[in-house]
Structure 1
């Protein structure tokens, strides 16, 4: 099971890196910025979007979600499952963080 968890984490890190390199129109000049936040900040939410029954997002994750460009993240929904992330959990993060204005993805 440890290898499976590591593969999920590696997959999610890969997708975040892919998003940064592919989305130059939504990223700032720095390649470490994705949808208005640092890639390392997005990793705060990784536990809340992995696995069949992910835990609730942490306060730090919710802080990131309040800064992120949510419509920008919607573009990556189809890719999440390919890399082991739970798309339903990922799309539910804003609601779980108390964000009221949530785009439809």
Structure 2
């Protein structure tokens, strides 16, 4: 039995956003920002999200230890961080909380 064309189109219309959404999630995790993968960034997100951020996790601090901190500093005044739910002031405090060196002009 063949499926009518309009049903095929309806099925495709339902499945396409799901497929595209899954692809974009994988692409996001595959990309890096200042030496941090999407997974690394997500490990740090709880520690930079208001109202009651926990201390950074060991995973976050480990990722941050291998990141380009000067590069990350360039995002401190970006409107991108707040739009992602990240508090820039908390983000700037992460190296200290992880007991890592950070640039003086961040």
Q: Give the TM-score normalised by the residue count of structure 2.
A: 0.63
Deviations 1:6-43 (A, max 9, x none): xxxxxxxxxxx5xxxxxxxxxxxxx6121112122111
Structure 1 residues 57-98: Cα deviation after superposition (integer angstroms, max 9, x where no partner): 011110011001011111111222233211111110010000
Higher RCO, 1 vs 2 (CA within 8 Å, ≥6 residues apart): 1
SS at 1:76's partner residue?
coil
Number of aligned residue pairs: 78
The answer on 1:62 being equivalent to 2:64 is no
Unaligned runs of 5+ in 1: 1-16, 18-30
Structure ID, larger Rg: 2
2:87 paired with 1:94 = no
Structure 2, unmatched stretches of 5+, are 1-27
